[in-house]
Every structure is written in C-alpha cells, then in structure tokens.
Amino acid sequence: QVQLVESGGGLVQAGGSLRLSCAASGRTISNSGMGWFRQAPGKERVFVAAISWGGGATRYADSVKGRFTISRDNAKNTVHLQMNSLKPEDTAVYYCAARLDRVYSTRGYDYDAWGQGTQVTVSS
C-alpha cells in the first residue's frame, strides 16, 4: 500500500506561482500512472493533470493547459505540479493520486491511492 503526502500549497496572489510536491512511501511509484486532482469548496473533485509511469506522456485539463506542468522523479519517488499564472479560480484543495497501472487516467475512480490534499488559495 502506497502512502502519498502532498506539500507546497499556500496563499498566493493572482499571477503568482506555486510548486506542489507529492512524496510517496510504502512502495515505489515508478510503475504507476500518477495524477493531480482538485476540489473547490462546494464542488466535486476534478482532474487537473496526469503523467505516465516514465513521464513520457502527460495530460492536462483544458483549464490549466499552458499554465501547469506535471513532472516526476522516480528516483526520489515524487511527483510535482508546477503552477504558474495562477488565477482565483484555481483555489482548491489539490490531491495527488497513484494507480497500479502504468498508464495515466483522467478519471478519479481509476486511482488506488490518494493523499490527504494541500490547500491552494489564490487571491485576486
């Protein structure tokens, strides 16, 4: 069973940047597709970005394309989400997720393990 811990969230002004990290323990995630999801207050959790096991394939939600970049360091068992040009509508709790399959997925139910989330707040 893998445990995921997110970090790097915080309060930032619109136009600013944050870099989220997801540290995995318990097993390697080098063979896992990984994803980031977010949940804004009163809304459902939605897909943000995902990356395949080797990092060769990535996918982004239209709302973050061109502003966010997902990456991974399998040697360090970590995944990152670089968020630039942040907007107030990016405010949410951000969750890291891992799946047993090597291929990424945009669907939350395809993931087997979730972190506890990290709060990102973007002020206008």
Q: Which tens digits make up the pLDDT trace of 60-75? A: 999 999 999 999 999 9
| 3-state DSSP of 16-70 | CCEEEEEEEECCCCCCCCEEEEEECCCCCEEEEEEECCCCCCEEECCCCCCCEEE
Beta-strand relationship, 3-7 and 58-60: unpaired
Model pLDDT, residue 9: 98
Question: Residue 40: what pLDDT?
Answer: 97
113-124 pLDDT tens trace: 999 999 999 999
Q: Pick out the chain residues at pLDDT < 50.
A: none
Percentage with pLDDT > 90 across the chain: 97
